[in-house]
Structure 1
Amino acid sequence: MVRLNSLLCSLIALLIEINRNSIDADRPSYNGRHQLRPKNRELLMDIQEAQLEFEKYIEKRYDTNDSNEVQVQIQIRRQVNNQCDVSVRCVESKYRTADGSCNNKQNPKWGKSMECSQRLLPPDYSDRMTRPRASLSGRPLPNARHISSQLHFQREVYGDYTHILMQWGQFLDHDMSFVPTFQSRQGVIDCCEGSGSENCFAIPIRNDDPFYSRFGRTCMGFVRSAPCLTCNVPRQQINQLTSFIDASNVYGNMANETIPLRRMDGTGKLRTSKSNRGNDLLPPSSDPQNDQCSDVENNNICFEAGDNRVNQLPALTAMHTLFLREHNRICNRLKILNPHWGEERLFQEARRIVGAEMQMITYNEFVPLVIGAKNMNAFHLWIRRSGRTTYDPNLNPSIINEFSAAAFRFGHSTVNGLFHLMDERGQTRPYLLRENYFNPFVLYNDDIDLIIRGLIGVRGHLFDRYVTDDVRNHLYKSREDRFGSDLIAFNIQRGRDHGIPGYVFYLRYCFNEQITEFAQLDAYMPREQWTHYSQLYERVEDIDLYSGGLSEYKLPDAIVGPTFACIISKQFYRLKFGDRFWFEHGDQIGSFTEGQLRELRKVTLANIICRNGDNFPEVHPRVMQVDNSNSNPVVSCSSIKEMNFNAWKE
């Protein structure tokens, strides 16, 4: 057994090492709908196959009903962990690596791209190893689409925050987390056509479905997440991205993604294309014929960025455009101050500043609204007005599975089905999200200011159990189709796929609350809601974490409820204090000077918008909150403080 384990793990180790050291000088093929770039896809398939062979061997070798099964698996993990521990060669540098490796000197793969996520609780697989979660009785859990249609249907209620809060949340999520689905060498896996793949986990659609029944749809395809790239039992999932808030959605998560995005002309800048009026936009797709996004016939070409999901919706593409422009703007300023700096120094310094700006905006404007002041205090998450923070090398910053698969998907409840283009006078032109998936072409018409005004001038949907039909019935609907998929059903199914334990186990984990009866949920959610759960689920322990978290009463000073706040707080604590390059930390090779830190603390999302819009004359300073004539009035962009780049002069 040890020999087989060693061979499998050695193969995985070799493939990881080859990938880590590779730099693809050619432009990577762009895949608009969540597909990996070809080189990384081949790597993932090779590793998947080795990992699955390992899992099959373990499953065959040991009876999963054996009372000693848990002890056996612990023994197996101990035997293979050393063989799977691939050494990473680290070089001391003030700049982050492209793939996030070497952030932690003792554990250089913590937070690295293409590595395992971590967990708060042990997984709950139905076979204790790999198979999706089932009811405590062993029977199947209730149909995920049925839960979505019965409990999470559309209701229009709006919060006291603007729609850009949701958009920042998505942009930020695409900087930290993406779990790729299982890849097949035969092409796309169609889980509704009897493919027989063990990595299918399709969602049947009932014949009385309130929406899909009218189209005769009986199945929603669902492919399981790819298993982790290191030998591990039970199954764990991959995070394709660097876990850190490092603007990797702008720059890419591996060297073979970063290099093609750069001009490499001595300026340090990123590649661009031009709008109809000559304004800078993201670079065009390098494979428009096959990117599943571009409309080549009408010369509408989609865009490329550090994250493949850039074209999902126009507002997301607009956010990417702002930060592309911000990088190039910073390069201009640094070049004037330091004309002796070359290409690499300019690029890396600008990248370092943009990453710090994303951290500043996230912890100063976004996270406080999401989890509330009480949790900000408890986890020491506030940005300091002065002084330094301290790095904790014992803290693993890797993404928590419960965070990415459930808690941070809270934002799906805050999406408005109706987006707006808003002019300077406040006149709006609405557009439906369902008609604009993978339709970023309005950016060519210089509509970025209209898109951003429509985000900061309109309230976002209230966080609650209700979700707009544009993501619940029409997710990724193509232009010629009458329906799409159901994001909420996918979220529920994904949690089961990942073996995420039931909702009440997180009440125990976070609050030491032992829940054994549905009625005990009265303190956490309305009676109407837990009554629905009692009619759908066999046991209270079976309730899915994602659905349960959406259903909670929100905290008094927060957007989300207590359980999601608990999980989100723990993740952002690890992302701050477990990141050696966190912008406030002192005594690190990558620490900013006192003067630079003072300037970075001036950064706001309003500042980014003002400096990088086409012609943005005014804005309210706290753009994630609704403008208020007393506490958050609209002001001239010229009055909003900007960083003084003299702090970077050498």
Structure 2
Amino acid sequence: MARVLIPWIILLVTTGFVCGQIFFPADTTFLVSRPVVQQQNAGATCTNHMNKKGRCKRLFECFFMYTQLADLIKQTPCRLANQPSVFGVCCPNSESDSQKTSGVSSAGTLFFKPPDVPIPDLKPQDIQNAVQAALVVVEQRVELEKNLFNNRIVVQPDTAVNFHLNLFPTTSETLDVGKDAIKGLESSIQLVNQNMLTVDQGRFALPFFQASSSPLADTCRPQVNCPSPLSHFRTMDGSCNNEQRPEWGQINVALQRIIPPKYGDGVNTPRLAVGDVELPSARLVSQSLTESSHRSSQSETWTLMLMQWGQFLDHDITHSPLVRGQNSTGVTCCQRGQFLDASVRHPDCFPIAIPENDPFYAQFNQRCMEFVRSLPAPRPGCTFGPREQLNQVTAFIDGSTVYGSNDEAANQLREFNGGRLATQRSLKGHTLLPVKAEECSDFLRQRFCFRAGDGRVNEQPQLAVIHTLWVREHNRVADALQQLNPSWSDERVFQESRRIIGAEIQQITYNEFLPIFLGEDYMSSLVQGIIEGFTAFGSQTQSLLLHQHQSKPFELYEDTGVDTLVRGLLMQPAQKMDRAFTDELKNRLFQGKQSFGMDLIALNLQRGRDHGLPPYNDYRELCGRPRANQWQDLLDVIDQRVVQEMSRIYNSIDDVDLFIGGVSERQVEGALLGPTFLCLIGDQFARLRRGDRLFYEEATAQFTQQQLASLRSIGLARILCDNGDDIKSIQSSAFLRSDVQNRRRPCQGSSDIPELDLTLWRE
């Protein structure tokens, strides 16, 4: 599954580091909604929006350059000739034009090549020389990591960055894939340097050259073998969803882009400002162009559940791991608040400079904020070229947060009895997630962190609550299916229950969440700095500072802990969609026992630069708006005082980071996002829907019409009713605050909160 890299607006909300990616299955159209489909000779021929004749093709077969994307988005979809149920785009007939502007490697992967970039005449010996030099660099890197480890120049316990690393575990399998990718990346760097390639040749020409015929052949990904016929049960690792491209959506593959990266050297170094100078400090941008949230920033409409679902959903589809050192230790780039000396600095250090007069960090004498680059990924098709990033989880909305993203993780979570997932019982007998004692515990080691399908479960209590509810829902469904079908094996019950849970998550996402928000990108701006809890009568019982309860989900062990936090999510307002962020995220992220933490906004900006994301202006143009040539051109979507501040911080309009440009835009009427993020996120979820063979509404998912009808009636309120400890009533729309139009209803017997009819699964 391909994905478009945008900065951490696909935000891990309170987790800290930009994942910086959006998925898009490459065999789908770029459509946010479903306009009327053209009925033109079953899709064999068509007429596009420019009144030109063409053939109906899949997007990736027609998409030649990123500059054509805006035009393709405008098209009305057509039906493919050989697959009438699949939508495509009307691709012009002029093959000569496509040959001038497109390039597809022998592996069929998409890349972009402007017509004026000459392909270098690289000989096999040139590639051999580059690889040999690269392997020497890799050995030197390994030796440096050993020395850093031996001298204890690694992330120290009880620091903000250590809390983050503990919350974002990286598997040994993923680290091994990353090590192979480093060899290919270093070889690409050597090819650029040894052959004096231009920046654009590094970006666009190197992908013409294969690593599979070089000494790096053993680092190429093995071919995925799928069963025939394909199963209607998902694989745990996301493979075999697409028959033609079985690796799409699989874990540990490179994320693809809809727009080329802009690395400083074309292949690896973080993005630079116009003139090849450094961009302004990400912390300076964060402090200057965002505001601190306050009570007036609270939404009068949306509940905090809107934010929490966004984070849970994000964790289901994206996790870009970080580079690690010897023995998987964390890489450190700062020492006592100052930059480490270059002689002992890891090559993937990219620390954030803190201004000397910073209004918060100056009091602690902090001039350096820790930041390590994302782990590189082997390039699609095993080619040379720019640095890409890994996704450590499956790229589908499939409940991987509940079940894990490989067989090993799933097996650790199962009871292997009646299709159930493993749980523990609290002292009061309530079902909780299984223990992960090695991660964290309270002071007395009586309460421990939890184990779930996603390692970020313990980030904060409300996230752990959502995980808990879905494990309970799985076991509720499994028990019912086993009773209805006593002859079913444990495996059959487990897989059928997993299929239903995935469908429920998709149903809630596409029919409750997206109509309100149309994307999860901006969820960090909805985060409250305080976690509140309420009794069944609406009395507030808790007020927890976020930074004091990160990596401390122990509230769930209390007698009414789950229900109290659920009511908090339903009653506490979210923050409004604006540039205001709580100080819990801007100054105290992962603070722990220290006096200060990290800045999520600065980390998001730095992650975008790490990933080589082009500037905001490029995405603005990509999404159909005129390219801004001067600062006043931004006034069509951004307020004047913000534009003025941007012009003070950035030297050029083409330096503005996508994240800050996107969050600064005024909302599109009827949506919670500005036009650029609305375009990108809407497209993302269209692809997640259309590119998933096992999406619950597809015929290949094999739900009956009666089962589908029942699944389509389910809302998040039903899940909360069925799986809370003692939830008796709830508003029918859990994402909206309770009012006259959204009254609280009894969980039982209310037609506004229908139940899933599991008798439809009786075999």
Deviations 1:70-97 (A, max 9, x none): 5642432597799646310101211000
The equivalent of 2:290 in structure 1 is: 152
| Superposed counterparts of 1:134-533, under 5 Å | 134-156=272-294, 157-159=297-299, 160-185=301-326, 187-193=329-335, 194=340, 195-230=344-379, 231=382, 232-265=384-417, 267-285=418-436, 288-289=437-438, 291=439, 293-295=440-442, 297-371=444-518, 408-428=520-540, 429-446=542-559, 447-478=561-592, 480-533=593-646
Give distance in 2, aligned partners of 1:53 and 1:96: 35
Task: Say which of 196, 200, 209 aligns to 1:63.
Answer: 196
CA distance in 2, matches of 1:304, 1:592: 30
* Residue 113 of structure 1 pairs with residue 251 of structure 2: yes
Aligned partner letter, 1:107: R
The TM-score with structure 1 as length reference comes to 0.86
- Determine if contact 1:141/1:542 at 8 Å carries over to the other structure: yes
CA displacement 1:147-206 (0-9 Å, x = unmatched): 111121312212221110000000000000010011222522101142421211000111
Distance 2:424 2:694 in 1: 31
CA distance in 1 between counterparts of 2:469 and 2:129 reads 48
> Any idea what SS the aligned residue of 1:237 has?
strand
Q: Which residue is equivalent to 2:726?
A: 615
Give the AA of the match of 2:352.
I
Q: TM-score, normalised by structure 2?
A: 0.74
Give the Cα–Cα distance (whole angstroms) in 2 for the partners of residues 270 and 155 of structure 1. Answer: 40
Q: Which moved more, 1:216-225 or 1:52-61?
A: 52-61
Aligned 8 A contact 1:51 1:227 in 2? no
Aligned mates of 1:597, 1:54 — CA distance in 2: 51
Q: Report the 3-state secondary structure (helix = DSSP H, G, I; strand = E; otherwise coil) of the residue aligned with 2:258.
A: coil
Amino acid at match of 1:612: N
Q: Mark the CA change 1:74 to 1:80 in structure 2 (over 3 Å): closer, same or farther.
A: farther
How far apart, in 2, do the equivalents of 1:252 and 1:524 lie? 40
Structure 2: runs of 5 or more not aligned:
1-122, 136-163
Aligned mates of 2:483, 2:426 — CA distance in 1:
26
Alignment match, 2:170: 36
Give distance in 2, aligned partners of 1:449 and 1:123: 45
Partner of 2:157: none
Paired residue type of 1:532: E
Measure, in 1, the Cα distance between the counterparts of 2:501 and 2:201. Answer: 51
Gapped regions of structure 1 (runs ≥ 5)? 13-29, 372-406
The residue identity in structure 1 corresponding to 2:535 is: D
Contact 1:162 1:455 in 2 (8 A): yes
Query: Hey, what's the Cα distance between the residues in 1 that align with 2:205 and 2:739?
Result: 61
In the alignment, the residues of structure 1 paired with residue 201 and residue 568 of structure 2 have an alpha-carbon distance, to the nearest angstrom, of: 59
Question: Greater CA deviation, 215-224 or 58-67?
Answer: 58-67
Q: Is 1:44–1:183's contact at 8 Å kept on the other side of the alignment?
A: no
Q: CA offsets per residue over residues 496-534 of structure 1, 9 Å max, x none?
A: 000111111111100141211111110111101011000
Pair 46,137 (structure 1): closer, same or farther in 2 beyond 3 Å: closer
Q: 1:596 to 1:173 in 2, by over 3 A?
A: same
Secondary structure at 1:161's aligned position in 2? strand
Distance 2:186 2:194 in 1: 12
What's the offset of the Cα at 1:136? 1.6
SS at structure 1 position matched to 2:543 = strand
CA contact 2:352–2:368 (8 Å) conserved in 1: yes
Q: Deviations over 1:316-351 (max 9, x none)?
A: 000000000000000011011000001100000000
1:400 aligned residue: none
Q: Aligned-residue CA RMSD in angstroms?
A: 2.3
Q: Report what 2:94 is aligned to.
A: none
1:636, 1:75 → 2: CA distance?
Answer: 62
Counterparts in 2 of 1:201 and 1:7: CA distance versus 1, 3 Å = closer
Q: Show the 5 A alignment for 1:72-151.
A: 72-76=205-209, 84=220, 86-91=222-227, 92-151=230-289
SS at match of 1:419: strand
After superposing on structure 2, the runs of 4+ consecutive aligned residues of structure 1 that deviate more than 6 Å are 3-9, 78-83
What pairs with 1:545-584 in structure 2 (closer than 5 Å)?
545-584=658-697
SS in 1 for 2:209: helix
| Residue identity in the other structure for 2:536 | E
Counterpart Cα distance in 2 of 1:491 and 1:225 = 12
In structure 2, give the amino acid aligned to 1:237. Answer: Q
Q: Displacement of 1:45 after TM fit?
A: 4.8
Deviation at 1:69? 5.1
Deviation (angstroms), 1:408: 4.3
Residues 1:144 and 1:408: Cα distance change in structure 2 (over 3 Å):
farther
Cα deviation digits, residues 535-573 of structure 1 (max 9, x gap) = 000111110000111101011111111111100011100
Q: Aligned equivalents of 1:49 and 1:332: distance in 2?
A: 47
Q: Distance in 1 between matches of 2:207 and 2:170?
A: 33
The whole-number CA distance in structure 2 between the counterparts of 1:609 and 1:70 is 48
Do the aligned residues in 2 keep the contact of 1:475 with 1:487 (CA within 8 Å)? yes
Does the CA-based 8 Å contact 2:130-2:187 persist in structure 1? Answer: no
**2-side partners of 1:5 and 1:458: how far apart?**
61
- Structure 1 or 2, whichever has the larger Rg, is 2
Task: Note if contact 2:199-2:266 (Cα within 8 Å) is conserved in structure 1.
Answer: no
What secondary structure, in the 3-state scheme, does the structure 1 residue paired with 2:710 have? helix
Equivalent-residue separation in structure 2 for 1:438 and 1:296 (angstroms): 13
Q: Quick one: structure 1 residues 513 and 5, their matched pair in 2 at CA, closer, same or farther if it must change by over 3 Å?
A: farther
CA contact (8 A) 2:184 2:211 kept: no
Identity of aligned residues (%): 37
Q: 1:514 to 1:636 in 2, by over 3 A?
A: same
Once residues 304 and 5 of structure 1 are traced to their aligned partners in structure 2, the CA distance between those partners, rounded to angstroms, is: 46
CA change 1:77–1:523 in 2 (3 A) is farther
> Displacement, 1:146?
0.7
Q: Are residues 180 and 71 of structure 1, via their aligned partners in 2, closer, same or farther at CA, if it must alter by over 3 Å?
A: closer
Look up the SS of the partner of 2:623 in the other structure: helix
Is this contact kept in 2: 1:151–1:466, CA < 8 A?
Answer: no
Q: CA–CA distance in 1 between the matches of 2:602 and 2:723?
A: 37
1:333-377 CA distance string (max 9 Å, x none): 101100000110000000000000000000011111113xxxxxx
Distance change (3 Å), C-alpha of 1:520 and 1:65: same
Offset at 1:33?
A: 1.9
Specify the alignment match of 1:25 in structure 2: none
SS of 1:325 mapped into structure 2: helix
Quick one: structure 1 residues 2 and 273, their matched pair in 2 at CA, closer, same or farther if it must change by over 3 Å? farther
Question: d(CA) in 1 for partners of 2:631 and 2:549?
Answer: 40
Q: Which amino acid aligns with 2:167?
A: R
